[in-house]
Chain A
Amino acid sequence: EDKVVQSPLSLVVHEGDTVTLNCSYEVTNFRSLLWYKQEKKAPTFLFMLTSSGIEKKSGRLSSILDKKELFSILNITATQTGDSAVYLCAVPQGGSEKLVFGKGTKLTVNP
């Protein structure tokens, strides 16, 4: 069965810290891996990764995929209180239109 495991489940840091969130996956016929940020409402899209070793970057956030070791990391540098959220990782299930989500990492950034 396809699955996504995220770690840690929760993380508390101070503003200015750098954090690394982990996502490992098992899926048949890998197509892509997606990261979302969820505050109180809709998950908002961050990154879609399809190729190993190519870093995607958006401001202080970056992400990279390792298809050999079946994991991805999401880095956030110089964290701000506005980064506090649940970060979700997802992969399309092999041969279907379903996204399989991890349980998320709850990040709390304290001032």
Chain B
Amino acid sequence: EMQLVESGGGLVQPGGSLRLSCVDSGFLLSRYWMGWVRQAPGKGLEWVAHMNQDGSYYFYLDSVKGRFTISRDNAKNSLYLQMNSLRDEDTAVYYCARLGMAGSADWFDPWGHGTLVTVS
């Protein structure tokens, strides 16, 4: 069973950097597309990025392109989000999640518990 645990969040000044990690204790991460979704305090959900199993395909929200980089280390069952040039509006809980796929349908399941990033 896939169980996702994020880490790496914290307080950072505007313009700073953070690297988020997501580890799958079920050792299944290498088989799946994986992604990140964020939620600003008291706000709704926002898709950030996702990538395929070997890193050859990846997609980003426009507002994070050029600043955030999604990557993975399948040998370590880990997904990462390198966040540079952070802005106040990047403040959010960041969730990692597995992508499920069937035909043209895609979905996020399961989700990690999230890690809070505060830019201030």
A and B from one assembly? no
Binding site for A on B (CB under 8 A): none
